């Protein structure tokens, strides 16, 4: 019992009839039935209770109160004559003897109806987020987030990991995204940076002799928003293990995640260990993506050789990939609509043809495909009522990935939606040719251990192998087509690290300058170590069945990285700027 209430608004039941109680909460709704009779719905964090007004005094008290005011109700519980089986407290009601206003809502009109706030404009929702969060459906996502974080902490602790917090103010480090910089008042002209990830600190913990580390880590990156990425700030389950291999990391997450997904997810089926492992090159060739959604049973086939001399210019001499979709019932109009959606996503036009009930090729680009039908039948399933979608050109791989994902969801029977399907993407390329530089660059994490160690790097240096064939001990965890995390076996040997950087025209001095603490620590004897950091926000988004990550963040920014509720980012005073030795220059817009 709390002093301000005897029960919550989700607690009273028929067995409580006749009790004198006191409940508190927000006045959600008032429905008047006559001059001295009304039904009031009172809502708190836990649920709702109906209050029945039957006297002139109580009616007068209620009429002066706007909806969403907080009130206290003292009265007697009684059985409802008209029960509501959809409401937990639907068998009872409270007849008040006293109503007290605790916090008055001073506005007659709200920005949106609380229980329908998700239908409101997103700008309004974010501006009045404290009202949006009163919606039980919105609140449920935040409660889910809390439960998942607690479950992750418990599971990691059970696996022998220590939760260690790492600094928020640190040095700027090139990690792939823009830093958020913080001016150092005591050091004019110098800046701290908010960490893009605790990467260096967790590796330093391994060199310090800690065996298993984790934290629910805040990360800060000045990058653009998208459906599965929030600008500015996000959280990840950061972990690292000493004297560990890739297999050790896999074993931990394959034990930790499935029970959490099965318990808290919208779907109660999740992959069991071991998760399927797919090499990066195989994933791109088979699914057109390094984030395949394995709930979809579609794959692509490379049929480039069959169209070298095609009469259709869009296919002739181009990379051509096709996806056969059995028993597809989409109409021509529906097919064209989905293809248009795919083109918007991939930036490349897609094509199609069908196999009719007689086994003949028809529709779309059918006439250009018919000459190679027999050869195509050796690669594709061309059974009657099969739809084949086609991607061609430089963007064929990306395009076919979008085709698989979109048509897999649109064509009945090709996607088992109600499950969580995990996989590991492994054997990422260590190097690539940069789009802008035209020279060899690191493909992903430069501190990953190259598969083959120093020996494979020396062979590349001597020209015995193509450096583009070197793979790294890197891995991504993917669930339902969403990348949850990237991880790697770390390059803990200074000699191997320097050689890896030399291949991209950076020497030992460059490494020392950019990463002094980590390089020096490794020179004092570092253990082999590996780690990963699944995104908590993305994880909860999947569990809640939401398509936007902002739905599971308590106070998210908008797409332009603005907190319109708090007014951030905001201007500061000249005195503050002067103290930090900062001068603000006018932008072109000004």
CA angle 196, 199, 202 (to 5 degrees): 135
Cβ neighbours of 317 (radius 10 Å): 12
R_g of the chain computed on alpha carbons: 30
pTM: 0.91
With 80 as the cut, is the pLDDT of residue 1 above it? no
Whose structure tokens read 């248009």? 340
Q: Three-state SS for 425?
A: strand
d(CA 422, CA 479): 4
User: According to the model, what pLDDT value does residue 229 have?
Assistant: 77
Q: CA torsion, points 180, 197, 184, 578, in degrees to nearest 10?
A: 20
User: According to the model, what pLDDT value does residue 36 have?
Assistant: 86
d(CA 283, CA 425): 8
Which residues sit opposite 486 in a β-bridge?
A: 476
**For the domain 132-240+432-590, what is the CATH code?**
3.30.930.10
Give the DSSP letter string of 346-392.
HSS--EEEEE-TTS-EESTTHHHHGGGHHHHHTTS---TTEEEEEEE
CATH 3.30.930.10 boundaries in the chain: 132-240+432-590
User: According to the model, what pLDDT value does residue 230 have?
Assistant: 81
Q: Which candidate, 178, 442, 402, places its Cα nearest to that of 293? A: 402
Give the pLDDT confidence of 208-237 residue by residue, as tens digits. 999 999 999 999 999 887 767 788 899 999
d(CA 291, CA 476): 9
The mean per-residue pLDDT over the stretch 487-511 comes to 93
Give the DSSP letter string of 479-548.
ETTEEEEEEEEB---HHHHHHHHHTTT--HHHHHHHSHHHHHHHTTT---EEEE--BHHHHHHHHHT-S-
pLDDT interval class at 282 (50, 70, 90): very high
Give the pLDDT confidence of 408-435 residue by residue, as tens digits. 999 999 999 999 999 999 999 999 998 8
Q: What percent of the chain has pLDDT over 70?
A: 98
User: According to the model, what pLDDT value does residue 261 have?
Assistant: 95
CATH architecture of 14-103: Beta Barrel (2.40)
d(CA 538, CA 237): 11
With 50 as the cut, is the pLDDT of residue 545 above it? yes
Q: Which candidate, 189, 128, 407, places its Cα nearest to that of 293? A: 407
CATH 2.40.50.140 boundaries in the chain: 14-103
Higher pLDDT, 36 or 532: 532
With 50 as the cut, is the pLDDT of residue 590 above it? no
C-alpha dist (Å) from residue 444 to 52, 433, 448, 475, 526: 63, 12, 9, 10, 22
Q: Tokens standing for 574?
A: 């000249």
d(CA 251, CA 479): 16
Q: Output the average pLDDT for the chain.
A: 94
pLDDT interval class at 587 (50, 70, 90): low
Q: Tokens standing for 252?
A: 């931990």
CATH 3.30.1360.30 boundaries in the chain: 296-410
User: According to the model, what pLDDT value does residue 232 have?
Assistant: 86
**Spatial contact of 473 and 489, defined as CB atoms under 8 Å apart:** yes
Give the pLDDT confidence of 181-197 residue by residue, as tens digits. 999 999 999 999 999 99
The fold adopted by the segment(s) 296-410 is Gyrase A; domain 2 (3.30.1360)
């Amino acid at each position: 019992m709390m002093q301000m209430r005897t029960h919550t608004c989700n607690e009273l039941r028929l067995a409580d009839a006749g009790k004198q109680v006191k409940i508190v909460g927000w006045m959600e709704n008032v429905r008047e039935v006559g001059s001295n009779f009304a039904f009031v719905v009172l809502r708190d964090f836990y649920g709702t209770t109906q209050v029945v007004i039957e006297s002139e005094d109580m009616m007068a008290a209620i009429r002066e109160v706007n909806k969403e005011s907080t009130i206290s109700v003292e009265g007697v519980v009684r059985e409802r004559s008209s029960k509501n089986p959809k409401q937990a407290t639907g068998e009872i009601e409270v007849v008040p003897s006293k109503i007290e206003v605790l916090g008055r809502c001073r506005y007659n009109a709200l920005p949106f109806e609380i229980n329908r706030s998700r239908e409101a404009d997103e700008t309004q929702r974010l501006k009045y987020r404290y009202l949006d969060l009163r919606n039980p459906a919105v609140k449920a996502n935040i409660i889910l987030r809390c439960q998942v974080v607690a479950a992750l902490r418990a599971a990691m602790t059970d696996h022998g990991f220590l939760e260690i917090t790492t600094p928020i103010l640190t040095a700027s480090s090139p990690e792939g995204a823009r830093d958020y910089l913080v001016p150092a008042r005591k050091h004019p002209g110098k800046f701290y940076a908010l960490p893009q990830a605790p990467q260096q600190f967790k590796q330093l913990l391994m060199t310090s002799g800690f065996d298993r580390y984790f934290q629910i880590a805040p990360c800060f990156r000045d990058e653009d928003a998208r459906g599965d990425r929030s600008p500015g700030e996000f959280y990840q389950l950061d972990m690292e293990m000493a004297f560990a291999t890739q297999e050790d990391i896999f074993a931990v997450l394959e034990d930790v995640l499935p029970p959490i997904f099965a318990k808290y997810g919208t779907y109660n089926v999740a992959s069991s260990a071991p998760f399927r492992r797919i090499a990066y090159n195989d994933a791109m060739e088979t699914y057109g993506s390094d984030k395949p959604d394995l709930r979809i049973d579609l794959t692509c086939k490379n049929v480039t050789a069959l169209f070298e001399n095609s009469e259709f210019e869009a296919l002739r001499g181009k990379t051509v990939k096709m996806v056969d979709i059995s028993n597809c019932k989409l109409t021509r109009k529906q097919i064209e609509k989905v293809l248009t959606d795919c083109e918007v996503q991939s930036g490349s036009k897609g094509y199609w043809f069908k196999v009719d009930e007689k086994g003949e090729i028809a529709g779309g680009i059918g006439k250009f495909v018919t000459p190679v039908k027999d050869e195509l039948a050796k690669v594709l399933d061309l059974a009657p009522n099969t739809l084949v979608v086609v991607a061609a050109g430089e963007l064929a791989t990306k395009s076919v990935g979008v085709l698989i994902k979109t048509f897999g969801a649109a064509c009945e029977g090709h996607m088992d939606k109600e499950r969580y399907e995990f996989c590991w993407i492994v054997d990422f390329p260590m190097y690539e040719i940069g789009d802008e530089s035209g020279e060899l660059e690191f493909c992903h994490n430069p501190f990953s251990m190259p598969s083959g160690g120093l020996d494979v790097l020396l062979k590349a240096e001597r020209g015995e192998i193509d450096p583009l064939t070197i793979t790294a001990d890197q891995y991504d965890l993917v669930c339902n087509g969403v990348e949850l995390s990237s991880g790697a076996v770390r390059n803990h040997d200074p000699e191997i690290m320097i050689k890896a950087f030399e291949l991209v025209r950076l020497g030992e001095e460059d490494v020392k300058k950019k990463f002094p603490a980590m390089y020096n620590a490794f020179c004092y004897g570092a253990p082999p170590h590996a780690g990963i950091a699944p995104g908590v926000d993305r994880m909860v988004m999947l569990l809640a069945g939401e398509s936007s990550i902002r739905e599971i963040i308590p106070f998210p920014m908008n797409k332009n990285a603005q907190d319109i509720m708090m007014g951030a980012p905001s201007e500061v005073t000249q005195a503050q700027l002067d103290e930090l030795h900062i001068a603000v220059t006018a932008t072109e817009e000004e």
